[in-house]
Structure formats: C-alpha cells, structure tokens
Amino acid sequence: MKRLAGEFGATAIIGPAEREATLAAALEAEKARIPLASLIAPEALLRPVRKWVFSTAHPVSLAVGRVFSHVSLRGFRRIAILASGKALGREGREILSGLAPDRGLSILLNERFSEKEHNFLPFLQKSHLRGAQAFLHWSNGASRLALARARLALDIRIPIYLSTVVSKSYELEGRGRAVEGLMFPVPRVFAAELLTENTPGREQIQKFRSDFRRRFGQLPDGLAGYAADAFRIIGKTLAGSPRRGLVRRRIETMGTYQGLTGIFRITPSDHNGLNPHSLVLVKIKEGKWALAETKK
C-alpha cells in the first residue's frame, strides 16, 4: 500500500481479498488519503464508515439477512447456530445472534468449534433434541462437508444453511447424498445460470462470463465479479485528470450503479451499497445447484 500510494503514485487501489490484509490496507489508505476498493467486506471495514475505503463484496450481514429471510419464509422459528472460532465464524456468529431476535427467531443452540474439530455429531444431536428447525453453520473449509456427513449419519432431516460461497474451494461438489439439500448464498456472477429473466443486469453478467471464459479458459467466480465491479466503479471516476479526493467524492455521489454483483447505492454513509437480494440462495438438489424454494 505504501509503495503503490507513494512510489507508484496510484490514484486508487483495488484489493486485497483477504481479511487481515484488507484491514491493514484500510489503515494505510486512511493515512495516505487514497481510495481503496476492497474485494472483501468484513463489518469492521465498513462500520463505522472509513472516508477512503469502499468495498464491492458482500458483507456478512447481507448474507445473514438473505438466509434469515428464507428461514422465515419457510415458517421456521427455532434455529441452531454453529460457527468456527476464526474471524469469519466469530463475525458470523455475532451477527446471527444479534439479528435473530428482530426476525422473531429463537436460538436453541449457539456454539463455536475449533478448527481441529472433526466430530459434528454432538452439535446436531443437541440441536435435534432441543427442537431446532434449521441449522446455521458459519465457516469455510472442510467443516462444511464434515457437518453434512454427520447429518447423513444421524439421518436427521434438519435443513442446513451455510455461509456465503464465493469460489470453487467450497469442497461440496460430487459429495453424493451427504450434501443433498444444503443451502447457501452465492454472488450472482457465480450462479448466473440460475438467474431468472427479470434479474437486473442478467445480460451483463452473461456477457462477462462469456468474455471471461474465452480469455481465461474457465468461468468466473464471485470474487471475479467483485474485482470487475471495483474496476468499473473506479473507471467511471477517472475522467479528466482526477485527484484522489475527486475520485473518492465521485464514487460517493455516482448514485445507483448496476454492477455484476448487484445494484450498488454507495453514499457518504454507506461505502458498499448492496442489499441482501443481490445474493442468490442456492440449494444442492440431485447433486446440482438449484434455486432454493421460497415456499413453506
């Protein structure tokens, strides 16, 4: 950050896409007074608003809101929460716990697990015995598959919701009956084939995916969409010979912007501007992704 802002004289910076690196970069962006468009959106990055820091990614609060909306639509009122002890899990658990009462949801289990945990049977058993109607698991990595296999072993039909899946490293494809029915939010670019015809920006997303595959030989994931939106938003501010302060002000005042990730409404009090429905809620059905049903 210091080299880009000082030695290279950048007008704006895009990235990083890792939590601790982003928080460190944000501190330097504020010191150097240079616009930073992060590709990850921890709540600590966006609240309170930092004058020089923006994000084109989905904050955890939006993913929680998307999941809770579906839980409520299905008529569930009693939930179980299990999160990892890492930063993502801690943040997810805090937001899940904080927002649940406002949604009329009772938490019957609220626990965290260590990264060395491999046995998820006790968590599921306790949730089942206490009468939980939905199980919310907030973590990345292999714990998701281990949880799914534990549910299959116990033959418990409790619906499982996972945290946001942004890239192909989710370790769930081709895992058979264990993962059947798992639900999780994903960015629109990552679930383009599931978008309905009336989804705003659908044609733009399809073109981006086609161009991306032609150039790189693979389809883009959600992170590629975050990066493309960051480039496009900053690109709209670079007319003339803009200074860093002008770029920042132009981003804050550009109004509604239809991006690949969703509709951005960035303002001086909101440096992200996305809403929960910019995420697609996916369900694994017969081994493939499908839109999660909204009926009870």
Sign of CA dihedral 220, 221, 223, 226: positive
Task: Confirm whether 233 is domain-assigned.
Answer: no
Q: Is residue 27 part of a domain?
A: no
Examine residue 174 and state whether it is found in any structural domain, yes or no: yes
Q: What tokens does 232 get?
A: 């496009």
Of the chain, the percentage scoring pLDDT greater than 90 comes to: 89
Give a yes or no: residue 91 inside a domain: yes
Read off the CATH number of the domain in which 136 is found.
Answer: 3.40.50.2300
If pLDDT is split at 50, 70 and 90, which confidence band does 170 have? low
Both structure tokens of 152: 């299959």
Interval 88-118: pLDDT, tens: 999 999 999 999 999 999 999 999 999 888 8
Residue 53 in any domain: the answer is no
Residue 116 lies in a domain: yes
Residue 106 lies in domain: 61-189+278-291
Residue with tokens 């499982």: 160
Q: Is the pLDDT of residue 296 over 80?
A: no
pLDDT at 160 over 80: yes
Q: How many separate domains does the chain show?
A: 1
Tell me the pLDDT tens digit for each residue of 119-158.
Answer: 999 999 999 999 999 999 999 888 999 999 999 999 999 9
The pLDDT of residue 32: 96
Please check whether residue 99 lies inside any domain of the structure: yes
What would the pLDDT profile of 236-253 be if each residue is shown by its tens digit? 999 888 899 999 999 999
Does residue 226 form part of some domain? no
Q: Taking 70 as the threshold, does the pLDDT of residue 175 lie above it?
A: no
